[in-house]
Structures are given as C-alpha cells and as structure tokens.
Amino acid sequence: MLTYFLSIYGTFLKIGMFTIGGGYAMIPLMEREIILRHGWLTAMEFLDIVAIAEATPGPLAINAATFIGYRLGGLGGSLLATFGVVTPSLVTLLLFGSLLIRLILDPRAERFLKGLRPALIALISVAVITLGQAALVDLPTILIAAGIFAASMIFPRLSPLYLIGAGALLGLLLYPY
C-alpha cells in the first residue's frame, strides 16, 4: 500500500517537474502516465476528470491531480497527487524566485519563450486529438463539440463557464437515460 501511494506521489511529481506551460500542457503527460503507463484510469474516466477539473474553480493541473488522486487512493491519494504536482513549482519559487524575476527581464528569455510556445501548442493539440477520440463517440457528442467550438470562436469574450454549462445541459437533454 505504501508503494502504491509513493507511486501516486512520484507520478505527479514527475508530471509537475517535466511540464512547462500549465494545466493544458500537462494533459498529454498525465494521459501517458496515468492511462498508458500505469493503467490507473481509462481514457473516458480521465476525460471525465479533466472536464470536472476544468469546470471547478482553480488551476486545471491542481484540480485534475486532486480528483485523480482521490479516485486512485481516497483522501490520501488526493493529497499526495496534489502535493506531488505542486512540489516542483513550490521548490523552484522558494529557491530561485529572485533569480527567476531577473531571468524574465533578460532578452534571451523572450527568445526561449518564442520557441517554447509552439511546442506547447503541439502538446496541447496532441491532447485534444487523443481525448477527442475518446469523447467524440457519436453524432450528438460531435455536434456538441462543434457547437461549443463555434460559439467560442463567434463570442470570444463569452466565459468558458457558460460554454461548459451549455455542454452539460446539452448532454442532459441528448442523453436522458
């Protein structure tokens, strides 16, 4: 049991250490570690947790880690997964906070970020494609996704909360059983 909990912490520590770019950039690594490597969740379970994490106030990565950890090991798993995913950021800020501020002001940082941004878009795109294959299983789910995508493009200032709520409502209406 102890090794299982240490594995949860270690997995989320790894996710937190090797992901730059925030919650959406973490999704591909979470998917690979949690579904493919450990087999802790199915793709649909993972997708449901990501949806709940997105709909819940707070950072996506922390919410997802908390929910996944709870699913894997109750309260203890939840605490370990959450602490694991935030440990690298916390340690980095505590040890290198003042240095990071100086680095951000360095012109080389802008060049670094110019290369990093397209890499993050690629990783997020992989997650969209992989999770889309699990979520878009029939015509209603495809129509919901297309409608929410169109609404977000037509009304870019519309809060994501409304779009998530619309998707949930459409799911309730289209899948009443």
| pLDDT, tens digit (0-9, with 9 covering 90-100), for 89-141 | 888 888 877 777 777 788 887 788 788 888 888 888 887 888 888 888 899 99
Tell the residue number behind the tokens 């899948």, with chain if given: 175
With the CA atoms of 150, 154, 156 and 159 taken in that order, what torsion angle do they form, in degrees rounded to the nearest 10? -60
Write down the pLDDT at residue 110: 79
Number of CB atoms found within 10 A of residue 131's CB: 19
Tell the residue number behind the tokens 């908390």, with chain if given: 66
- Amino acid 158 reads L
- Amino acid 56 reads T
Q: Write b or e for each residue in 28-55: b if 16 or more Cβ atoms lie within 10 A of its Cβ, otherwise e.
A: bbbbebbbeeeebbebeebbbbbbebee
How far apart CA 140 and CA 13 sit, in angstroms, is: 37
pLDDT tens digits for 41-57? Answer: 998 899 889 888 887 88
Exposed (0-12), middle (13-18) or buried (19+): which is 21, by Cβ within 10 Å? middle
pTM (predicted TM-score): 0.71
